Amino acid sequence: MKGMTDMNFLNQVVLADAASGNAFGTYGMILIWVLVFAAMYFFILRPSSKKKKEEAQMRNSLEIGDEITTIGGIMGRVVAIKDDEDAIIIETGSDRVKMKFKKWCISTVDTVKEAPAKEKSSDKEEKTEKKGLFGKKKKDEEDK
C-alpha cells in the first residue's frame, strides 16, 4: 500500500510541474544529472583507468637490463625479475649495490626500446619527403 502512495505522489509531482508551466520539470533535472555523471566519467574516471592500464603494461614488459627509476627516485638497471614475488632486483652505481623492490614502485623505464621494422620504415619515409601546405612538395626541394 505504501508503494502505491509513493507512486501517486510522484505522479502528482510530475503533473504539478507540467501544470505550473515549468517545461523543464523533473525530466530535465534527471537529464542534467545524467550529463554531469557522464562528464565525470569521461573527464575523471576514464583517463585515470587508462593511465593505470598503461602503467601496468609498462611494469609487466620489464626486461633484464632495462634502466629504471623508482617512485623514490632511485635509478638503476634491472638484474633479476621475480614474478612469483612480484618483485625486481636492481643494481645501482659503479659499486654494484643490489636492491630488491616491488614492481609497483617503478615510476619510469628509461631504456629506449627499438620500434618494429614497419614503424621505422614509415618514419624514414615521412622524414625524407617534406610537404608543404595541402600536401604539395615545396619548390625548394624540387629544385635540388
Task: Examine the pLDDT at 65 and tell me if it is beyond 60.
Answer: yes
Question: In which band, very low, low, confident or very high, does the pLDDT at 71 lie, cut at 50, 70 and 90?
Answer: very high
SS3 of the chain: helix, strand, coil, percent, to 5: 55, 20, 25
Q: Which residue has the cell 627499438?
A: 114
Mean pLDDT value of segment 44-62: 89
Average pLDDT over residues 55-73: 91
Element (H, E) at 117: helix 117-128
- Which 3 state secondary structure label does DSSP give 63? coil
Q: Identify the CA nearest to 106 among candidates 67, 79, 49.
A: 67
pLDDT for 102: 93
Give mean pLDDT, residues 56-71.
Answer: 90
pLDDT digits (tens, 9 = 90+) for 77-127: 999 999 899 899 999 988 889 999 999 999 999 887 775 655 555 555 555
The model carries a pTM of 0.52
CB 99 within 8 A of CB 89: yes
Q: How do residues 22-32 score in pLDDT, each as one tens digit?
A: 556 778 889 99
